[in-house]
Structures are given as structure tokens and as C-alpha cells.
Chains A and B, each alone.
Chain A
Amino acid sequence: MLRFFLRRLLVAIPTLFLVITAAFFMMRAAPGSPFETSRKLPPEILAHVEAKFGMNRPLVVQYVSYLGGVAHGDFGPSLKYQDKSVLEIVREGFPTSLKIGLAALVLASLVGVTLGVLAAIRQNHAIDYSVMGVAILGVCIPSFVTAPLLRQVFASQLGWVPTGGLNGPISLVLPVVVLALPQVAIISRLTRAGMIEVLHSNYIRTARAKGLSETTVVFRHALRAALAPLVAYLGPACAGLITGSLVVEKIFNLPGLGKSFVTGALQRDYTLVMGVLILYASLIIALNLAGDMMLAVLDPRVRLS
């Protein structure tokens, strides 16, 4: 078990290194500069500003010094928000993104698993077809369509929730729902497929044969095994939520990290983009690792492969 963990961890480190390297050089290869404004700066001033951030040195030197900084937990100053370090911006934005992401994950798991189980135990009946129909719709309707529609109905017309901005927990309801919908679709499909497979296995037949009630069979015996693919889905789900948060934070005007990343990329705020990217990449890698570990605990066959 420990060897399995260490082997996975050994893959995770070069992965993160690759992310940093690729992002660093891609960002620098982009035309434009963070110090470009509507008025052209005089060359002396530009040279001065670049020297201040150490950007007059050769690229490779900058890369090495950046890596050194990251290793010490120093992500440098933001190039656009003067007087703020990348860490400060991350600390301000991340809690909001984390809150809606976690809430969406919990909501999507609860609803998705319930729907998936319902569809599986009523396979090829009306419930199954309607759940799968909803699942297809959930995958096909992009969040930037559901978000304005839901906002129009629940915020503008019914006035139950605010239209946007960060203003207490109530203002996070719509973003969480919008973020959760595509995941509900995927999770319900995964659960249904897992359940159907498990319900046909021999030990379920045994459980039924010894006279257990259908509820016990489904919830105590089948569900546990059927949830294994879901654990493996943890990493991709997190990636999906982060992608979704880019859109949701823009539409609902939330001060999260997704917004910082997009504006940072467009404004060539090198350090900010790198910082957010490293954080999100580590998060996804860590969750993938956690998913693999949990799967290995649940299913010994995984450890051997």
C-alpha cells in the first residue's frame, strides 16, 4: 500500500514541475507585456519597471529564480495589482471559489447518486428514462446558458436571491446550483452504470436468496460497490468544477480565483496566472492521488496492476 502511494507520489512531482515549466514559457511567449497600457511608456521607464521585477534578465535565469521562489512558497508580486503579492490575491479569492466548489460537489454527489440509484433499480422504466434524459440535458446545456436563465427567473423575476455579487450565503445558491448541474448529470450516469453492473453480480443474488429485504440489498450491499467508480471520478470532477467556476464567477460577478485567472491571462499578469495555475494543478493532482488511494483501499485489484 505504501509502495503504491509512493509510486503515485513520484509521478505527481514531475507532473507539477511540467505544469510550472510549460506555463512559464507559454506565458512568456505570448505577445504583449503586463506593462502595456493604452499610452505607450517611454523606453527608459519601461526598462526601469522591467528591472524592478527582474524581467530584464535572460528568461532562463528568471525561470530558475522563479522556481526557487516557488520552492520557498514565494510566488512573487502581482504585476498588475501593484502592492499586492500573488499569495494575497489567492488568499482573498480562493475561499469563495472553494466554498462554491465544495458545496457544488456535495450537492452534485447527493442528487447524482440518488438519481442514479433510482434509475438503476427501475432500469428501462419511466424513472430510468427520465433520469437519463435529464442527464443528457445536463451535459448538453452549458452553464453559461443555465446561469442567465436561472438568474432571470429566481433573481430578477421572483427576487428570491440576489442577481450577483458576494452578499451572504444566499448569494451563493445560484452559482452552486449552476456549477453542480453538469456534475449531477455525470455522477448519475456513473452511479447508474455501476449499480446495474453490481446488481447483476453473484453476491447480490446470494444476498437476495438468503431473504434480505430489497432495501438492505440495494443500500447495504450494492451501493457500496457501485460507488467505487465515483471515487475515481473525484479528480476529473474537481477539474470540471474549476472550469465551471471560470464561467460562474464571471456571470454572477463573484470575487473568486477563476476570474483572477482569466483577467490575469488577458492582461499578461505572469505571476498571478502562474500562482493560480500552480494552486489548481496541485489541487487536481492531490485529488487524483486521493481518488486513486481510496480506490486502492476499496478494491485490492487496483493495487496489483
Chain B
Amino acid sequence: MSGLSLAPQLKRNAQALEGAAVKGRSLWDDARRRLFRNRAAVASMILLGLFLLAAIVGPWLTPDHFDTINKNDVWDPPLTNGHLLGTDSLGRDLLARVLVGLRVSLAIGVVATAVSLVIGVTWGATAGFLGGAVDELMMRFVDVLYTLPFIFFVILLMVTFGRHFLLIFLAIGCVEWLTMSRIVRGQTLSLKQKEFVEAARAAGLSTPAIIGRHIVPNLLGPVVVYATLTIPGVILLESFLSFLGMGVQEPLTSLGTLISNGAEEMDLAPWLLIFPSLVMVLTLAAFNFIGDGLRDAIDPKDR
């Protein structure tokens, strides 16, 4: 009797297992599901998507180029003379400038983070995988760099090599890789000793295959999370540099440069401070919400 009533249940389980064999719900599927349930993260992704689109396409669509000087339209408030967000002290259209600034800031954020990612992952994975004295030496070096006052070195780098656009990427990327290398090393160390790696080795998989199939995919989670949280940090750092007069140079602009110029003229033209600040704060907040959401999604036990 009981066997009869259990049968459908068993059958369903068997079907479920069969289904799992055909198409499993991987860790990443689970993570995606959790991420999309996080409302703040989803809203941030939509906003950031729009910003990204605006930053890429926007500068071509504005009637005025970002460095077009209109002598008759100096300090126009928003919504006058066809300037949606007003104009600055040279009569340049603020909307066009904000879009270009957003483009530059996002580019710096993404590229510098990519630089830090490459250095950090290589360094951390090498140290973690080789272990022993090499690991000790490499991580001591990171410890030493960790205690340095970053900002001073970025300033020195900018002073030494000039304010070239590409150098800002490199300078910031070069100081932002430390945490990444620590995270990656820690992960590699613990992954190396996991049973599934041992099982893979016992099954006769080669070392590159183990790294490719088992180590890297498991490394990806924390790396993605931390990279997402690095981008706003980089954007903020660049804006600090711009504020101190060492970032992107005129007429090209970044959000930081726009804000710092806007702050000087806020009595006369408050919109020059308000709009770039708003875009900057929304961008940084969006990255932070996505990063937090990703962390919760990929590693739920962290919470």
C-alpha cells in the first residue's frame, strides 16, 4: 500500500534526476536567479545599462559638440536656448559634457579595473598555486605595498609621466590590484586542497585541465564581485585626481573634472555642480548595489 503511494513520488524524483543529467541547474543559474530577485541590484543594472548606452551613443546625438563654445549662451540655466541642462562659463552645453564625462569616467573605471584584474589574478593565482617560499615572498611584497599611501603614489605617477589619458588607467590599475591578488590567492589555496580537485587528479586530468575546469570557474565568483566593487572605487579615485588638477585635461572631461569645476561656480550656476554630481552618485551607487547583489547571489553564506 505504502509502496504504491510512494511510487509517483519516486518516479518524479527519477525524472527530476534525469532532467538534471540533461540540463543541470548550475551554480551560475542559481546565482542569476538570486541576483534577479534582488530589486536594488536589478534597478541598478537597468540604470547602469541606460547610462552605458547614453555614454556610448549620447555624445553623437547632442546638437552641440562637448567642446563647442557659444559666446552668447554663457551660464544659461537648464532648459533655455535648447540647452537641456544649461551651459557652463564658456557656453558649452552641459548635457554634452556630462555625457562625455560619463563616457570617460566609465572607461577609466572599466579599463583600470581590467588592468588590476590581470595583474591581481595572475599574481594571486601564481602565489597560491606554487605555494611555499614563492608564495611567502610574493605575498610579503603585497603586504608591503598594502601599507603604502596609495594616493601619494598615484600623484607621483601622474607627475612623473605626465597627464596622459592612458596613464591614468595604468597608474590607477597598478595600485588597485593588491586586494584582488589577496582574494585570488586565498581562493586558489583553499581550492587546491578540495576533494573535487583531488578527484579530478585521480581521474587522470592534466594540471591545465584542472585549472581550467575546476579552479578558474570557482575563482570567478569572488573575482567578479570584487571587480564590480573596484570600478566605483577607481572612478572615485580618478575624480579625486581631477579635483586636485592631475586628472583628465581640458577640453576633454570626466565626471570628477566637471564636479570640481562646478563646485567653483556653484554660486553663479548651481546646475554645473548638481547634474554631474547626480550622475556620478547614481553611477557609483549602482555599481555598489550590483556588487553587493552579486556577492549575496554568488556566496549567500557571506550574509
* A interface residues, Cβ below 8 angstroms from B: 11-12, 14-15, 18-19, 22-23, 26-27, 29-31, 136-137, 139-142, 144-145, 147-149, 152, 156, 235, 239, 242-243, 246-247, 250-251, 261-262, 265-266, 268, 273, 277, 280-281, 284-285, 288
Contact = CB atoms under 8 A, between A and B. Distances in A.
Residue with the highest number of chain B CB atoms closer than 10 Å, among A14, A23, A243: A243
Main secondary structure, interface of B, reads: helix
A156 B268 CA distance: 13
Nearest to B255: A142
Nearest to A31: B162
Contact of A15 (B148, B236, B285): B148
A26 B259 contact: no
B238 to A, nearest CB: 11
Contacts of B256: 142
A150 B155 CA distance: 27
Contacts of B52: none
21 contacts: A11-B143, A18-B144, A30-B160, A139-B232, A142-B240, A142-B259, A144-B263, A145-B259, A145-B277, A148-B273, A149-B273, A243-B151, A243-B240, A246-B151, A262-B245, A265-B155, A277-B152, A280-B149, A280-B152, A281-B148, A281-B152
Contacts of A268: 159
Contacts of A288: 147
Interface in B206-253: 232, 236, 239-240, 243-246
A100 to B, nearest CB: 17
A280 B151 CA distance: 11
A145 to B, nearest CB: 5
Interface string B278-303: 00110011001100000000000000
Nearest to A250: B244
Contacts of A31: 162
Contact of B285 (A27, A136, A243, A281): A136
Contact of A144 (B150, B156, B259): B259
Given A11-B143, A266-B159, A19 B148 contact: yes
Given A23-B152, A26-B157, A142-B239, 10 more contacts: A22-B153, A23-B156, A26-B156, A137-B281, A139-B232, A141-B281, A144-B263, A156-B267, A246-B240, A268-B159
